[in-house]
Structure 1
Amino acid sequence: MVLGISFWFCPSFTRVGGWVGVSSVRRREFMTVMLVLCILMFGACIALITLSLIELTSNPYPLPRCSNAYSSCFTEAARTTELSDDGVCTAYLNQCYEATVWTSIYFALVIILMIATGAVVAFLLYNFKFTAGDLIEKYLVQSKELEQVMATARTGSVSQKRNAAFELATMAASADDNKFQIVTGGLEILISLALNPDTTTQEYATEAIAECLTVPAIQDQFVAVGGMKTLTALLHTKNARTVREAITAVSYVVSDSDENKPAVLAEHGLDDLAHACKYANTSNRKLLASIFLELAYYSDTRYIFFT
């Protein structure tokens, strides 16, 4: 019956679903019952091994129980044979003593097994309160201080700047407060990362800029420091993701404020947008079309279009 229940509740593995089991299995209740049974087994084994050790240590060889069995064996042998065979009963006496010794060893091993099983069950019960999200947040999501990230982005090596750009992109995507801190702490550093020769650093930095520009208040400061030149220059890169983020950032600026639209026209910004149209995919072309539509409401842009 126990084996049947075990096979019924045991999990199975499939290539698509992974490890699956019966949904009615209650792991906490099962482990609690298992722990109680381990404690009961531990107590019973302690009592039995204590009795065996008392019998072995309090009486010299042979044990009284074994001596009584030896006498009964010798009497029975004397009745059934004409000449009693003392060797058979002596072997039986030795076997009785060895059985008592091995019984003590067996109970000692069971005690060790119960201690190990109880420790594992208690450990599992303790771990049941954790969830995968808690472990990921504790061990994998480890954000650094913004000042440290900015210092690394300013003077670090190529790999360190790449990691710093990734950290900035992650911070910018997580909360609006982080966006203001990034802009206040080092917008120029973020722009310099976007112009870094390393392609991956460019991508992460451009993603961080696009995330920051979702806030209209940051757009004015970004345009004031000449950031639009950086975005239009990034339209010439060969990294498709960087171009995508740059186009997205430009669309944020031109759609949220009429005052910032002239910044796109500076330094041949329209030429850069036209260049991006030649190599953009369908989704990027939709964004570029919306950018040109927003710029068409600006008179200077229409004049450039006609000329």
Structure 2
Amino acid sequence: MLLYVQNKSFPLRTFVLSVKNQDKVARVRAQLLHILYELGKDHHQFRLRYRGEILRDADYLGDYQIGDNCVITMVPMMKKLEFDGGSVSSSQTNYDSSSGQPPDIKDALNREVKHFDQREKFLNDFKALLYIHSLLVFLALMSVYWYSAAWTGCLFVAAIIFVPNYSRLGGFVGNNTHLRKYYCVGFGIGGMVCLGVAIYFSVITWTRIVNHGCKDWMFVDDCSHQQVFSALLYTVHSLLFIVSVVVIWILLVNFRVEVGDFIEKYLVRERDIEKVVSAAKNGSSKVKRQAAYELATMAASSDDNKLMIAAEGGLLVLESLALCRDSATQEHAIEALAELLIIPSIQDTFVKMGGCRSLSAALHSSHSRAVQEAANAIYIIVSESEENKNNVIADRGIEDLAHVAYEGNTASQRTVASIFLELAFNNEIRSQLTSSNIPAQALTSLCENKDMETKRYSLQALELMAIESSDMICAQENLLNILLEVPFKTMDEKLYLLAGKILMYYAENPETCEQLLDNSNVKESLGLFARTDDPVLQKVVAKIIFCTLETKELKMRALNLKLDRVLDYIKEHAADRETWDMADQALNDMNSSDDLSNLPTLSTLEKLKKMESKDKFGSSSSVGSEVKGQDSFTSSNSDLKK
């Protein structure tokens, strides 16, 4: 399959690679190193990214769902080279600070280049031998054994037609190059057979000449000119066959090596963790960048490596690098920490040493990738451990998360929304979230995000916080408009249900209910909510309209907005009996001259029960069904976690 590789460092070039789905990412990087070698840019350090995710050398392309004609990005690892005065000399490490690639990778690249240069040379020499053989085939027609031209001619005609074409710059080309190994085996066997025949003819002819003796240089009988010519011809032909067969077997061995075979093992191999941690701690800025990258790769490859990195003091080193000024080093260090935090014991150790403060500080980084990796690391902490959640929001952690909610990119905002959702599931922390206006404001801002996942996580978190303090949620100025605009921006019924549930809190509060009715989109929005097959969502709409009927003033405004038409639609398209009963009761109440203002302290369900005794809102069975439906809906509110 074909891959297209883009790099901002080469804006006018898109590299095209031929790879297999079972190839490792290291194989792709190896091919790119060869291309950069031809451009004179083999010192250029880079990583590969696909759909916002950094590709690890040891992983396979299939692991990232990379298919034919996909476009991946080369991300330079040397964005801003910033040296700190306290760095020690790079001579203390195994890295060559004068060039981009580590020495072992450079050596492997040079060996591959040399190997492919030899392939091109041997293949050109072999083609020259084929043309010389072709000339000898024609000369064989004038020999004693003229009929030998038949099989040698067939061999060399087929050899010339199917010979592979290769250059180091262009690689293999032609329709038959995929048969190159079969070609080598076939020609090798055919050449050895022809070699045996040529040697036999040569020996027989020379024997006859020697036995004749050619006295007085008289070229007659067994010492005729044709005999001498045949002996010389098949001797030369035998020597050429020997050379050709040797070359073709050398090519067969050479063809077994593909681009990346030498380089790949160095890209995916694991260096001594102790040395890498030491380099990350004591090296120069460039050495630290490379070491941070290697630690991220090692941590991702196995749990044993994670434990070894932590045992060698890697947590402190990575925490320090997570706050450095070099963007690439910071990104790799935080990425390594995120991998390490998957292990519960390492996570607990990291939290106890105050590492959450460093991750929160990294959320203010000017580099978006570092912010995203820090958000990922924090999400791992809050999702894996209930005990460690409090450490995340301590020391202005909520303010740091809110900063990303306003300033982060789409990926980091989605992660922050999921972090708030995980925090909101904890009763104690939910109380802390509602004690300040900052979380609600941040989540309201996230609800405006065009990314549907971010919007969903944010609405779920707001609904959970509304359980703790509905007044806090209803106090958000822009949230009402956002909720009513949901059906105009998406067709996701899950988002409809979340928005509808939060709108109920607005409807149950008389002051915010007025704001709800003042909104110009309320009828259209509720109408779109009702046009679903979800009975729970239809009940939500019916209950919202119930809440607007508690006073005569609100009821008149609801009638003026023609919300009764929404109820008519629900009745006509009710998903179940309970939904029909609720819509029917609401219509009866809307058309009734009575109101429920004398019951200001009761909930909606309690008011319905009171009205049931007056026999003005349908049969008792209808009210009972409605109450049962409301109870089932209330119980469903707690089941929000994905």
TM-score (ref. length: structure 2) = 0.38
Q: Which has the higher helix share?
A: 1
- Partners of 2:362 and 2:370 within 8 A in 1: yes
Deviates more, 1:121-130 or 1:151-160: 121-130
Counterpart secondary structure, 1:236:
coil
Distance 1:259 1:69, change over 3 A: closer
- Alpha-carbon distance in structure 1 between the residues aligned to 2:205 and 2:303: 72
Specify the alignment match of 1:49 in structure 2. Answer: 202
Task: Measure, in 2, the Cα distance between the counterparts of 1:68 and 1:120.
Answer: 38
Deviates more, 1:139-148 or 1:178-187: 139-148
Aligned-partner Cα distance in 2 for 1:246–1:286: 13
Structure 2 residue aligned with 1:39? 192
Amino acid at match of 2:201: L
Task: Write the distance in 1 (CA, Å) between the matches of 2:213 and 2:164.
Answer: 52
- Secondary structure of the residue aligned to 2:395 is coil
For 1:58 and 1:161, how far apart are their aligned partners in 2?
A: 83
In structure 2, list runs of 5 or more residues that go unmatched.
1-152, 167-171, 440-642
Residue from 327, 330, 352 that aligns with 1:199: 327
CA–CA distance in 2 between the matches of 1:39 and 1:164? 53
The aligned residue for residue 379 of structure 2 is 251
In structure 2, the partner of 1:294 is: 422
**CA gap 1:113/1:243 in 2 versus in 1, 3 angstroms:** farther
262-271 or 124-133, which deviates more: 124-133
- The share of aligned pairs that are identical, in percent, is 36
CA distance in 2, matches of 1:37, 1:175: 50
Q: One-letter code of the match for 1:59? A: G
**Letter matched to residue 193 of structure 2:** L
Deviation of 1:194 after TM superposition, in Å, equals 1.5
Q: Select which of 197, 207, 213 maps to 1:59.
A: 213
Q: 1:303 aligns with which of 435, 441, 455?
A: 435
Q: CA deviation at 1:140?
A: 4.0
1:18-50 C-alpha deviation (Å, 9 max, x unpaired): 957479x87665544322211122222223333
Q: Distance in 1 between matches of 2:404 and 2:378?
A: 12
Given the alignment of the two structures, is residue 113 of structure 1 paired with residue 211 of structure 2, yes or no?
Answer: no
Shift of 1:250: 0.5
Deviation at 1:281, TM superposition (A): 2.3
Distance 1:153 1:58 in 2: 84
One-letter identity of the residue aligned with 2:288 = K
Pairing partner for 2:340 from 209, 212, 232: 212
Q: Secondary structure at the match of 1:218?
A: helix
Post-superposition CA distance 1:96-122 (Å, at most 9, x none): 39x836852x44443343223323443
Q: 1:269-297 CA distances to partner (integer Å, 9 max, x unpaired)?
A: 22211111122222322211121222233
Q: Distance between the aligned counterparts of 2:419 and 2:220, measured in 1?
A: 105
Letter in 1 for 2:432: D
Superposed displacement of residue 212, structure 1 = 1.5
How far, CA to CA, are the matches of 1:266 and 1:168 in structure 2? 28
The change in CA–CA distance for 1:69 and 1:163 in structure 2 (over 3 A counts) is closer
Q: Secondary structure at the match of 1:150?
A: helix
**Deviations 1:224-244 (CA, angstroms, capped at 9, x unpaired):** 111111111111112111111
Which string of whole-angstrom CA distances, capped at 9 and with x for unpartnered residues, describes residues 80-101 of structure 1?
xxxxxxxxxxxxx9xx39x836
Equivalent-residue separation in structure 1 for 2:377 and 2:343 (angstroms): 11
* Counterpart contact for 2:202–2:230, Cα < 8 Å: no
Shift of 1:147: 0.9
- 2:356 corresponds to which residue? 228
Task: Read off the aligned partner of 2:388 and give its amino acid letter.
Answer: N
Relative to the length of structure 1, the TM-score reads: 0.73
Q: Between Structure 1 and Structure 2, how many residues are aligned?
A: 275
| Shift in CA distance, 306/145, structure 1 to aligned 2, threshold 3 Å | closer
Higher relative contact order (CA 8 A, sep 6+): 1
